[in-house]
Amino acid sequence: MASGKTAAGDRPGNAARAGDGAGPGSPGNAGGPAAGGRTPAGGGTGGGSPFADDNETAGGALTGYLREQATAFLRGMSLRGESEYDADHLLRRSARRIAGVLHTYAPLTDPSWSEPLRAELGWLSATLGREPQYVERLTRLLEALRRLSLPAAPEPIRTEGPGGGANGAADTAAGGGPLALGAARAAALLERQLTLARTRAHSATLQAMGSSRFHGLADSIAVLASDVPLSAAGDEPAAAVLPPLAGQAYQRLSDAADALPLHRAANPYNAEAMRASLGAELTADLQDSPWQQVRILLRLSRYAAEVPGAGAPDDPRTAEASLLLQRHREAAESAAAVAAAARTPRIAPATAYALGVLHADQRHEVEAARFAFSRLWQWSATDPQAAQPPVATAAPPGARLPGAPGR
């Protein structure tokens, strides 16, 4: 390998949330503190004050924010020699924010400059995000297999003596659980496939970081730190231009969230959705894509609100909703990885059974996240007098939702 590093890289197993590479110009994926990832060295929390000076122009406020993110991007490049994990995390984080803000505030910039830059930032975010994504997915699935294969708590068998009292108790069969036979082979299969995918992703990252395409992008970001090509609308007052554009981003989020099947997701055990994910008419990918789109729109809205003068979002649901949709994405993509492993030719029946149970477990986590999101998002409509939204965290792995039958 050109860099002399191992294919697996030097990144820790508890990698931060990976970028999703939703396409050119997309904000990418979670990975910042809001998504549960650790803050890398020199990372900060992102964004400046939501307020701008009364006399500041919209272009001036946008320029200040973009310069801050461009500086973070360049700092991430300088960190690569010390820690690839911290450097790539900071590069992804700043790339997502620059691309997202350029998308929301497109009327303020020169489109011949901003659109190609957004495309390149989307490419970089997707490339850097794949390796930590595979790391976390493997960790998640191996932990789920370990949890599912644990033996159930023994229930004593009580026998009544002549006097009516219990004179003995016997434990049920101990040892491995019902998945013990196939869980080890399923874990080995998943580890082999996901480690290979991680190795390829790491190689792709090394190639990208040494490519002329990346160096061209780095040059553009260096120019961005000193000069932002603005349109005529950038001369307007920030208070008159930025809040409406940020409001449009939030409105797109609200419309997409309201279009989700929230009433169906409000059922704590949505067997209809579970069956649909196994059928040909409505595959899991088609089911999940509207939820993934809402997650991307939520991220765009959050980034838009970070620009000084845009105004802080007044919806208390967005922070919790971001976490829930991230959990939804992780579970959905983990289930897809299990389904891909189950299609391996000539696997043993016990291995296939273990993978089937694991797939159902991950789809159950998808439904748990949807259930929690539906309760959270419909909070304002059902209880407008409430001061705070209800706590709507997704159930931890293996936990039963209220009213849900045992799996």
pLDDT in tens, 239-294: 999 999 999 999 999 999 999 988 776 555 555 555 555 555 445 667 899 999 99
Quote the pLDDT of residue 92.
96
- Total count of domains within the chain: 1
Neighbours of 113 (CB within 10 A): 16
The model's pTM is 0.75
Q: Are 307 and 65 in contact (CB under 8 A)?
A: yes
Burial of 32 (0-12, 13-18, 19+ CB in 10 A): buried
Is 100 among the domain residues? yes
Neighbours of 207 (CB within 10 A): 15
Spatial neighbors of 14 by CB under 8 A, at least 6 apart, are 136, 139
Q: Which helix (H) or strand (E) holds 157?
A: strand 157-160
Q: Are 184 and 110 in contact (CB under 8 A)?
A: no
Q: Which helix (H) or strand (E) holds 168?
A: strand 166-170
Secondary structure (3-state) at 230? strand
Q: Are 301 and 318 in contact (CB under 8 A)?
A: yes
Nearest to 222 by CA among 94, 134, 101, 312: 94
**Domain extent for 226:** 33-139+183-382
The CA R_g of the chain, rounded to the nearest whole Å, is 24
Secondary structure (3-state) at 77? helix
CA 387 to centroid of chain Cα atoms: 28
Is 18 among the domain residues? no
The Cα–Cα gap between 351 and 337 comes to: 15
Q: Are 136 and 15 in contact (CB under 8 A)?
A: yes
Question: Tokens representing 230?
Answer: 């603005």
Tell me, what CATH number does 103's domain have?
Answer: 1.40.20.10
The Cα–Cα gap between 119 and 213 comes to: 12
Q: Which helix (H) or strand (E) holds 137?
A: helix 111-149
Type of residue at 4: G
Nearest to 407 by CA among 348, 365, 349: 365
The Cα–Cα gap between 22 and 110 comes to: 23
Is 289 among the domain residues? yes
Main-chain phi, psi angles of 113, to 5 degrees: -95, -45
What's the sign of the alpha-carbon dihedral 34, 254, 282, 265? positive
Is 294 among the domain residues? yes
The Cα–Cα gap between 318 and 301 comes to: 9
Is 221 among the domain residues? yes
Averages of pLDDT over runs of 10 residues in the chain (407 residues) are: 41 40 41 39 44 75 95 93 90 97 95 94 96 96 92 52 39 49 92 97 95 95 90 91 94 93 66 55 71 96 92 80 95 95 93 94 93 86 49 48 40
Quote the pLDDT of residue 42.
41
Question: Tokens representing 312?
Answer: 């802080």
Is 145 among the domain residues? no
Main-chain phi, psi angles of 266, to 5 degrees: -70, -15
Is 105 among the domain residues? yes
Is 387 among the domain residues? no
Quote the pLDDT of residue 55.
75
